[in-house]
Amino acid sequence: MSNDRLNHNERETISEMTTGRLSVYLRCLTFLESCSQMTVSSAELADRFHLNSAQIRKDLACFGEFGTRGVGYNVSRLKDHLVRELGLDRTRRVLIAGAGNLGMALADYGGFNDHGFEITALIDNDLTKIGRRSRSGIEVLAWEDLPTIVRDQQVDIGIVAVNADSAQTVYDAFADVGLNAVLNFAPTQLRGRPGVKVKSVDLRINLESLSFYLKKVEDEG
| Residues lying near a copy of itself in the complex (CB under 8 A) | 1, 5-7, 9-10, 16, 19-20, 22-23, 26, 46, 50-52, 54-55, 85-88, 92, 94, 100-102, 104-106, 108-112, 116-117, 156-157, 163-164, 180-183, 187, 197, 199, 201-215, 217-218
Contact 113, 96 (CB under 8 A): no
* Secondary structure (3-state) at 192: coil
**Minimum Å distance from CB 203 to a copy of itself?**
6
Q: Could you tell me which of 210, 104, 92, 98 has the C-alpha nearest to residue 156?
A: 92
Q: Which is nearer to a copy of itself, 15 or 68 (CB)?
A: 15
Q: Which is nearer to a copy of itself, 54 or 71 (CB)?
A: 54
Distance CA 63, CA 61 (A): 5
**Minimum Å distance from CB 168 to a copy of itself?**
15
**Minimum Å distance from CB 98 to a copy of itself?**
10
Distance CA 100, CA 164 (A): 13
Distance CA 40, CA 33 (A): 10
Q: Which is nearer to a copy of itself, 71 or 187 (CB)?
A: 187
Contact 136, 108 (CB under 8 A): yes
Contact 171, 198 (CB under 8 A): yes
Contact 158, 120 (CB under 8 A): no
Q: Which is nearer to a copy of itself, 144 or 199 (CB)?
A: 199
**Minimum Å distance from CB 49 to a copy of itself?**
9
**Residues, the chain:** 221
**Minimum Å distance from CB 68 to a copy of itself?**
25
Q: Which is nearer to a copy of itself, 87 or 131 (CB)?
A: 87
